[in-house]
Structure 1
């Protein structure tokens, strides 16, 4: 009888310890799932010449940890400053780029310089400088954009990126008097 009781007790203890191991494993697996980090999102936009220009380039958007970064390289420009904006539509079909609509402005703010108290469009990126060879670059980051999140106030998918012939004065409404549209690219997935 004693042998059966000892055997039964050993069996119960073994099962109990297996259950505890299983619980520990489940807890560990749950912790791993909670600590997963979303992979960065990204897309590349090709800029095409507009308004009889030879301006082209590449704009790369990446989103990581709630911040969208933009890195653009543009060629074929006149040396000097040029404006770049996100516009309402990814439609770049017209010869002058006007098919992309006006500046992207989902919050109905006045045109201005990014971050100023008087307001600015979500598409008001700003100016960059082209060197003597007509090449310019610009980098920009914000937590006010997203890539494919579906939020109409933040999502840049379905918009267009426009490079202008001139400089954004950050004052003239509604466009900053930036001149003609010399390059256009649709921000599409």
Structure 2
């Protein structure tokens, strides 16, 4: 019951903050403080565990990505405030997802090949960060493996933290679009990354 209450409070406070941003009302400081409080309670409870309750996973993996994207939409001081809030919340997310020795060996076995594909050839995300573009062949392996294991994953009541961190990285693929557009000036590569993000997003969130 404790986990359910924590997850519900976190999800509710996240929705309240994001709704204000989506409707153009701007960054609501009171809703933000409620979100910080709820996420801190989650971090206090989960940081020493090996897994995170399923109900909290999807709000957790999209929060930073959503806020950073809103920081691009809202200009000037409002955009800066949202970006700072995103970075602060990311620290709390990291507390929730920092990995301990994982004892859920059966679940880890399920995602082992996915993790292996991501780490291949210098790591899929590291190559993106370093401006090498999206390795389309590697992405297809990652996508196909995630698709293959998705039915089993949906039966889990909790997700290993190693898998939650993979989902966070995949959900934040669209942030590389801004990097390739604004810093690397590689629009074609940015378009490829966004196409990959849309496919992953559809797979994760259905």
User: Under TM normalisation by the shorter chain, which class is it?
Assistant: under 0.3
Higher helix share: 2
Higher strand share: 1
Give the TM-score of the pair, scaled to structure 2.
Answer: 0.22
Larger radius of gyration: 1
